[in-house]
Amino acid sequence: MTKPMLRKIIHVDCDCFYASIEMRDDPSLLGKPIAVGGAPNKRGVVATCNYEARAYGVHSAMSSQRAQKLCPDLLFIRPRFDVYRAVSKEIQQIFQDYTSHIEPLSLDEAYLDVTDSPLYNNSATYIAKIIQQRIHQEIGITASAGVAPNKFLAKIASDWKKPSGLFVITPEQIDSFITHLPVHKLHGVGKITAYKLNRLGIYTGYDLKQWGRAELLRAFGNFGEKLWHLARGIDERPVKTQRRQSVSVERTFQEDLPSLQHCLTKLPELIDELNNRIARLDENYKTGKPFVKVKFHDFTQTTIEQQGAPLDLDSYQTLLKQAFERGNKPVRLLGIGTRVIDLQDIIEQLTLFN
C-alpha cells in the first residue's frame, strides 16, 4: 500500500453560527433556548439552534413544530441572512491572513490547508488557535477547530470538543484514534449505512479494519473501497478553492416512500431547508435552474432539471412527477436543488474580452 499524503489541514466550524450572532446582538437571549428558522405555525424548519435548545433534543433541519413540542419555551427568531453573510465575510478575511488555500463549506465553516505556511514555524495547531482567538475577539462569537493530516479527520476533530474547542490528531495518532472511532462518524456514512455496518458487527474503526477490501466491496459496492481507506485514516481529497456549482438538500428515509403522493408531501420541508441554504450563498452567486434527484428502493436513481423554471413548489412538484415516472417504484432518497451561476466568472470573462 502506498503511503498516504499527509497535509496540515484545519477545519474551522463556528458554534451555532446563526444563534450565536443573534445572542451577540441581543444579550437578553443569553441562557435561553433559541432557534433560528421558520415559525412552527407555518411549517417552518430549524436552521440552527443554541446549546440550551439542543439539550432538549432540538437540532437543525428539524421541523419547527417538532422542535416546539420538545422544548415548549423555545424562542423562534427569523433569520437575518444579510447579517450572517456580512459576518461570514469578516471570518473569511481572517482566514485569508493565514492561507489562500481555503475551501468554504458554508457561511460558518471551512477547510484551510496550511501545509506550506511559513507562519508560526509551520505550526497548524498554533495557527488554528490564533484564528479561534481572533474570531472570538473581532467577531464576538466562538468557533471550534480541528487539526489533522487530512480533511476527513480534521472535520471530525473540530466536532470533538465543541463548543470553542481545539482538537489535534497528529500522523502518529491516526491508528489509535480510528481504532475507537464509531463508524457513524466516518465521512459519507449515514444512518442507513451505519445500520448495515452494525448488523455486520462493525461498530468501530477497529471492527472495520478487520474486513478486507474485497469483502467490503462485496458488501457495500464501490463505497466499500472508501470504507477500506477510511478505516486506515486515508483521505487524499485536496482542499478545493474552486467555486461551487449547485446548492441542494437531500433526505434519506428510514422507510421507503411507496408512492408519488407520499413523495410530494415531503417537498415543502425540503424547499424550506433549500431556501435557508440559498440564503447562505455568497453574493457572488446567482441561482439558476432547479433540479430534483430521486433514488429508488433498488438504488437506481435519476436527476431531472429545467432551464428557466422558478424555484417554487410548482416547479419542484412538476420535476418530481417526471422523475418518479422514470422508475415508478418506492423511493428511498429525495433531493432538490438549484444550479448556481458564479457572477465572478462572468466578470472575469467580460474583463478578459474587453
Catalytic residue among 22, 52, 109, 269: 109
Q: β-strands 102-106, 75-77: how paired?
A: unpaired
CA distance 216 to 236: 19
CA distance 275 to 298: 30
Q: Catalytic site residue 109?
A: yes
Beta bridge partners of 279: none
Contact between residue 126 and residue 147 where contact means Cβ atoms under 8 Å apart: no
CA distance 318 to 264: 10
Tell whether 345 is in a known binding site.
Answer: no
Residue with cell 459576518: 87
Q: Which amino acid is at 83?
A: V
Grid coordinates representing 348 are 472575469
Residue with cell 443569553: 30
Tell whether 15 is in a known binding site.
Answer: no
Beta strands in 155-203 (DSSP E): 166-168
Coil, helix or strand at residue 98:
coil
User: Strands of 331-342's sheet, edge to edge?
Assistant: 246-257, 331-342, 285-296, 301-305
Q: β-strands 75-77, 34-37: how paired?
A: parallel
- Residues taking part in catalysis: 109
**Which residues participate in the annotated binding site?**
13, 108
**Which residues participate in the annotated binding site for Mg(2+)?**
13, 108
